Every structure is written in C-alpha cells, then in structure tokens.
Amino acid sequence: MKINPFIFRGYDIRGLVDQDLNSEIVEHLGKAFGTFLNRLSIKKVVVGYDSRATSPKFSQAIGKGLNWAGIDIINIGLNLVGTFYWSQYYLNCKGGVFVTASHNPVEYNGFKLANDFSETLVSDNIQKLCQMVENEDYEQAETKGRSEERDIKKVYFEDLLKRLPIRKKFKVVIDPSYSTAGAIVPDLLRRAGCEVIEKNCQLDSSFPLGVPDPTSIIVAQRLGNEVWQEKADIGFSYDADGDRIGIVDERGNIVWNDVLVALFTIDVLNEHPGATIMYNTLCSKAVEETIVKYGGRPFMWRTGHSFLKKKNQEVKAAFIGELSGHFFFSADFYNHDDGLYSTLRLLSYLAKTNQSLSAAIDSLPKYISSPEIKIYCADDKKVELINKISKVIKKEYPGAKNGEEDKSSSLPTELSQKAKVKKKAELSSPFAVARVIDDERAGDGVRVDLQTCMFVIRYSQNAPYLTIKFEAKTENQYIFLKNYISKLLHSYKEIDWDSKINVNTESLS
C-alpha cells in the first residue's frame, strides 16, 4: 500500500488527517500491527484515544485491522495516555494502541503503539511497521479477534490517590486548552481534596486557543494570568494526550519543566539516596548541579520519551525528566510518563515540605532561560540541516573534543552585546570554554555546555521542526547566545520562520 513514510517517526506515527491518514490507511496499520504482535505471541491489546475529532473513528479503524489479524481488543475509550499505559498492567495487556498526535496542530493525528508494558515501538521497529504496510505484509487470522469496552477511570484514580495522598487543600487552576485533560483532571483533583478552578476545560477538538502545548509561552502566560486572578496556589496545563504538564507558581510565574526536573530530583533523592537521575539534552545545567548537590548520579540522554524509557532498561534510573514535561517516576510508579501522577507528585511534595511552589523553586540554581523554541523545517530536510549546523558549531569550539570540556580558557563574567569574534585567541564570547555533545547522547542534534551557559539545537523526532533551548547566568550572556543562534539559523533557507507550527520563536527576536 502506498503510504507517506515520513509519518513513521522516531517513536510514534503522526500525519495529516485525510492526506497521510484516513480510515482505510489506519485499518491497514491495524492489520500490520496485529501481524507484528502475533509474531511476538501477543494476542491482546488495550486501545484508547484523545479528544481529537478523528480519534474515535481512527480507534475503530485500527481496531478493525487488529481484529482481522486475530488480536483481541479492550477499548478504554477517551483517556489520557498515562492512564493507557497504567491500564496495560491492570488489564494484563502487553500490546496497546493510543490514538493521539499529542501537541501537533489540529490537522494532525497519530498513534503510539505498545509492544510491552510501559514500552512503545521506537526507531527500527517503527520502520519495520512502515515496510509491512508498504508491502502489505499481513497475516489474516483464522478466527477474528474480539472487542470489548471497559471503564477503568475509577480504579485508576483510586490507585493514584492511594500512592499520593495530598495532605493539604490546594487551590488549583487547570487549563488544558480545551483538550482531553479537561474531562479528567478536575475530577481527580477534587477527589484529592483540592479546590479546582477550571479554565478552558470543555472539550473542543478545533483547539480554539491553539495547540495544547505546555511548552508554549502563550499557554504558560495565559495560565499565569489565570492563577494570579484567582489567587490560586498553583496552575497546571496539559498537552492533548496528557502525558506532559506545564506549571506556574502562586505568583503567576512560569516554571519551565527542566526546573521542575531539578525539583523532582530533590524529592526522588530523598526517597532513593544515591540514585541515578536521567534527563534529556534540552535540560538546564541546573539539573545536573542539583543532582550532584543532593548526592545523585546524573545521566544525560537523547531527547524523546521513548528513547529515555528504552535506555532506562539499562541505566535503571529512579527518575527521568524532560524539558517538554515528560516525567517518569520509575522507582516509585512505572517506567512511563503520566501527567496525572506528576501532578499529584508535585502537590504531595509541596504539602509534605510545607512550601509554596515559588519557595521551592527559589532553592534551585538560577539561570536566565529561554522556553523550548520550535521552528518549522520539513521532515525531508531537517536531518541534513542539523548535520550542517553541527559542523559549523564544532568549528566555533576548536578546544572541545569527544564531548569533554576544554578548560584551557576562562569564561568572562559579563559579555558585551556587541562582542565580535575576530580571532580564536581573542575570544570575548562564551566560546572560550565548551563541551560539545553530538554523539549518541544527543542523538538528533548538538548540545554546547559552557561554564555559565548552554544551548541546544536539534531536530524533532515527531514533527517537522527544529528545537532550540539556551540559557545563561547573566543577561548579557543570554543576549549574546540569543543573537548568535538567531543569526546562525536565519542563514539557512530550509527554515520557515512564518510557519504556524512554530512555537516561541519570539524568544529569538
């Protein structure tokens, strides 16, 4: 069958509705995935979906294909993806399909495909599935699979609240931008004893306020204003499938999720002294500093929740965190991300330490930090573009070798906004000291660590864009990096600065 191969991404499937994905194509995906599971002796799957307009019919279409291949289905209906992963254990299903395009624009939909508990297909297996569809490498079962529906929300809530009782009544604002979490999160938090203020919690698959993306500064600022106006203790936003969260403190200040990784690290290391903490390449230097300060072992790995989950089978980290808002409390829960568990875990920590969120954050190392910036670059161009950019950056850092930091020079305390590099011997920029990481740890880009600065440029595994993040200790250093990155990226015609898929590009202007 002819299918767009670019919808088969690093760890899921995402494509444009009616162009890349329709019911016929999705049924073929079900036949291929059912055959794939049969070859692993997996005969049963759990199916769930988010609130996108096409998600219910796509869940039926892929279910039809799965049944054709002899796979039994337990459909849990509209849910969050963390609930879906949890249900694998509760329903004893290694196989699974969750219909979602997460934080992609409204025109998209897609699938997360599970082949083990808390485990989704990545890389080679995703490409194998693509080849199976292209070649129609399917096997029809002699006996068609069965389908049933189950409502698991009550037992799921009971499990979470038993694990994380909240011993303080918080006033909480919830703003999921009209997406799935609006039908689920308020109920859970009220059962937890919170006073819940609902903002934009009605389901509307047109996403009238824009894409539900907790990393968007527009979403975060709106949430901050809502918390301030309501005089609430904290605010939470969610993406469309609810595995990622965004937060603001009681003052309405945005707390980016790499800072939250550092805060969660303290909580986890209190419970698991000396444990390994894994974090992705987009995270602040504050994360590694906090892990070391509290006696943990830092382990940086490539961006992508499925890559991190897979690596943790080897690393055995107690906790994993990403800038995007994926958090895995592997030692205390399961080795998957769950936005509701993360929500309760933060409230539980603040309650037991008797702190406001702002007070808890004040104890962490401080950096001036950009949000996660996303800039459109076509799927068929983004990999080669990052290769070009990586080569340019490595030329700027001649002292860095094999990802190790070159300490032959010292970094200036302050930088002139108009600093210009004329000779390497006369550096007045952060380029004086660097650790360039572009190996397996980075995976899909390059990270540059400096004594008091950091920046990352990479391509997304699940959408046509580049991701950028940078930070510095001082305003002048921050401005220098912003100008350097902006000038570098503007020199490439492969980047579309006017695309509606862009997020937070104003942070580079």
Kindly state the DSSP code that residue 21 receives in the 8-state scheme. Answer: B
Can you list the positions of beta strands (E) in 143-293? Answer: 147-149, 171-175, 195-198, 234-238, 245-248, 254-255, 276-280
Interaxial angle between packed helices 81-91 and 339-353, expressed in degrees from 0 to 180 and rounded to the nearest 10:
100
Residues 6+ apart with CB under 8 A from 359: none
Beta-bridge mates of residue 234: 172
Cβ burial 146-167 (10 Å sphere, 16+ → b, else e): ebeeeebbeebbebbeeebebe
Phi/psi for 232 (5° steps) reads -90, 170
Q: Which single residue is written with the structure tokens 């920029």?
A: 429
The vertex-359 CA angle with 354 and 365, nearest 5°, equals 130
Q: How many CB atoms lie within 10 A of CB 78?
A: 17
Catalytic residue among 55, 102, 324, 507: 102
Q: Which single residue is written with the structure tokens 């609810």?
A: 242
Q: Which one-letter amino acid corresponds to residue 465?
A: Y
C-alpha dist (Å) from residue 92 to 36, 73, 84, 143: 19, 12, 12, 21
Q: Which single residue is written with the structure tokens 């912003």?
A: 482
Look at residue 495 and give its three-state secondary structure: strand
Tokens of 304: 């992508």
Cβ burial 83-109 (10 Å sphere, 16+ → b, else e): bbbbbbeeeebbbbbbbbbbbbebebb
Q: For residues 408 and 410, what is the distance between their CA atoms, to the nearest angstrom? A: 7
Q: Which one-letter amino acid corresponds to residue 476?
A: N
Active site residue 102: yes
Beta-bridge mates of residue 172: 196, 234
Q: For residues 297 and 381, what is the distance between their CA atoms, to the nearest angstrom? A: 37
Q: Which one-letter amino acid corresponds to residue 509?
A: S
Tokens of 190: 């009220």
C-alpha dist (Å) from residue 148 to 63, 83, 86, 184, 497: 11, 17, 18, 22, 47
Q: 373, 507 in Cβ contact below 8 A?
A: yes
Q: For residues 297 and 315, what is the distance between their CA atoms, to the nearest angstrom? A: 11
Can you list the positions of beta strands (E) in 435-486? Answer: 435-437, 445-449, 453-459, 465-472
Residues 6+ apart with CB under 8 A from 251: 228, 358
* Catalytic machinery residues: 102
